[in-house]
Amino acid sequence: MTISAWRTRGGQERTVVTELIKPIYTAEATAVGGRDGHARSSDGKLDVDLRPPVEMGGSGEGTNPEELFAAGYAACFQSALAVVARRSKVSVDGSTVTGKVTIGTIEGGAFGLSVHLEVQIPDVDDATMCALIEAAHQVCPYSNATRGNIVVTLTAV
């Protein structure tokens, strides 16, 4: 377990606890200009212009952090679903996961996120589908990172 402590510019102490037993991969990306800028991964495979959506007063001409998070969470959850399905000897061929990330204000005037994942698994009964979704939510790294921090709603479609 790694515990790192640091102080904000205002002097507030923050502590971060990381419990990775065996790190597997580290993604690296750099953003310049915030929501109205550019982001690029260290390997160059992700290279995108960032623009606020129209709903936030922007042009909507690029992608935004919420879209990137929605895509990442949906893809990660889909992989977790495949893992738990394989363990249960159930086919999730043709399944889809749609991620919806909402940004809004929270108490104190700050901003927060919520996530809604819609999971569709053809040819699987409702009880099995719900069990697989719940199991995937326990396995998915994004679910583990967000658990207890933001509202994540799971819907079987």
- Is residue 125 within 8 A of residue 86, CB to CB? The reply is no
The predicted pLDDT at position 21 comes to 84
The predicted pLDDT at position 76 comes to 98
- Is residue 117 within 8 A of residue 96, CB to CB? The reply is no
Q: What is the pLDDT of residues 19-39, one digit of tens each?
A: 788 989 999 999 999 999 999
Q: What is the mean pLDDT of the chain?
A: 92
99 to each of 20, 71, 75, 105, 128, how far by Cα in Å? 25, 6, 9, 20, 21
| Helix (H/G/I), strand (E/B), else coil: 79 | helix
> How much is the pTM?
0.87
Residue tagged 């923050």 (tokens): 14
User: Would residue 43 be called left, alpha or beta, if left means φ above 0 and alpha means ψ between -120 and 50 degrees?
Assistant: alpha
Answer whether residue 63 shows pLDDT above 60: yes
For the chain, give the percent of residues with pLDDT over 70. 90
